[in-house]
Amino acid sequence: MQISETALATSKPLFVKFVECMRIIKDYHFQVFTNNPEKTLYSETLRVLNQFQQDRTQAAYCLIENGLVWDAEVIIRVVYETFAKVAFLATASEEQRPELLHEYWELLGAVYDRQAALKAEPCERLFNCSGSDGSSRVMATLRDNRVYRTDPLGDKRFRKQLEQRWSFSGILEALNSGRHGIIPLIGIEVFAHNYSMSSHVAHANSRALDLLEDRATRGSDLVPLEMGHICRMLSDMVSLTSFSLFLSERSWAGGEKMPAPLAAAVTAMTETIKPFHTEFEISQEGLHSNWPRKE
């Protein structure tokens, strides 16, 4: 389902501002990691994660610009996931970082190797039956313990705990509570709502279909709703990429305030979306006024 042509045309100023803000953010990314004198596993992991996140915003923006907002939601889920991992690493104490890096690169990598090996086995059998020797060899390689870590890592409980700790919900819990030696980011749990919306779309569950049905049955408030949706996605991407860079740089350079270029990008995007967001809120007053606020 694509957004209306009216909403797409109205979004042009938002698109221009988003591109401007992301250019500022990308320039600052280059500055942060070029000026950092240390090239360690820690700093390189943050560099790659930040770059990965910014690349996903570009992909999501291409979809939004072409009216494919629901497809963009699937990509934006990755932007949230990446932000969580950056924040998890960047707020850890120096003493805690080696353990987290070992979990991220080695332990989780071993878990994923094992999972890939198990899933490759039925594929290998299928390719053997169909005579697809080349594809069969690929699947066989995934199961080869000389190439990949195909043996189970610890027991099932250990693996589940490890994956949960690095899941989006697990990281948000750690960031909110300060567990695992993490500097707490109070209020970080607010990100869970938008992430869950993107997750519903990615999983094609009943809530995702409800969202599409709601959009298809809207009346005069359709365009303000679509504009509100676009504003939220563009604003989220600017804020998350800026916050990721801020936390990364702060972890080795210190400082409590977001650097001026990043703060300016976040503010510029916020100010640009403000009138559209206000119009959206006004358009929804009749809908939500029928339900008294629950105390």
Structure tokens at 224: 């303000």
pLDDT digits (tens, 9 = 90+) for 102-122: 999 999 999 999 999 999 999
pLDDT for residue 290 is more than 80: no
Tokens of 219: 């009346």
* 26-76 tens-digit pLDDT: 999 999 998 887 889 999 999 999 999 999 999 999 999 999 999 999 999
- What percentage of the chain exceeds 90 in pLDDT? 76
pLDDT at 88: 95
Q: How many CB atoms lie within 10 A of CB 172?
A: 21
Average pLDDT in the chain = 92
Both tokens assigned to 166: 């690095």
- Give the per-residue pLDDT at 101: 97
- Residue 243: pLDDT band (50, 70, 90) is very high
Q: Indicate the burial class of 252 (C-beta count within 10 angstroms; 0-12, 13-18, 19 or more).
A: middle
> Could you say which DSSP state residue 255 is in?
-
pLDDT in tens, 76-106: 999 999 999 999 999 999 999 999 999 999 9
| Max intra-chain CA distance, the chain | 65
User: Between these two residues, 278 and 182, which has the higher pLDDT value?
Assistant: 278
Give the residues across from 182 on adjacent strands. 92
Report pLDDT digits (tens) over 130-181. 989 999 999 999 999 999 998 988 899 999 999 999 999 999 988 988 765 6
Give the model's pLDDT for residue 294.
Answer: 64
Query: Following CA atoms 107, 110, 114, 116 in sequence, which dihedral angle do they give, to the nearest 10 degrees?
Result: 110
pLDDT confidence band for 292 (50 / 70 / 90): low
Q: How confident is the model at residue 288 (pLDDT cuts 50, 70, 90)?
A: low
Given a cut of 70, is residue 224 above it in pLDDT? yes
CA atoms within 13 A on the CB side of 70: 18
Residue 252 has pLDDT above 80, yes or no: yes
User: How far is CA 61 from each of CA 110, 124, 127, 160, 194, rounded to the nearest angstrom?
Assistant: 34, 38, 38, 34, 17
Percentage above 70 pLDDT, the chain: 95
Please answer whether residues 163 and 111 qualify as being in contact, where contact means their C-beta atoms are separated by less than 8 angstroms: yes
Tally the C-alpha atoms within 13 A of residue 27's C-alpha that lie toward its C-beta.
Answer: 11
pLDDT at 267 over 90: yes
Q: What is the mean pLDDT of residues 267-275?
A: 96
Decide: 56 and 198 in contact? Cβ < 8 Å: no
226, 12 contact by CB (below 8 A): no
- The pLDDT confidence band at residue 289, using thresholds 50, 70 and 90, is low
- pLDDT value, residue 9: 96
Average pLDDT over residues 241-260: 93
CA-to-CA separations, 208 to 74, 124, 194, 225, in angstroms, rounded: 11, 34, 13, 16
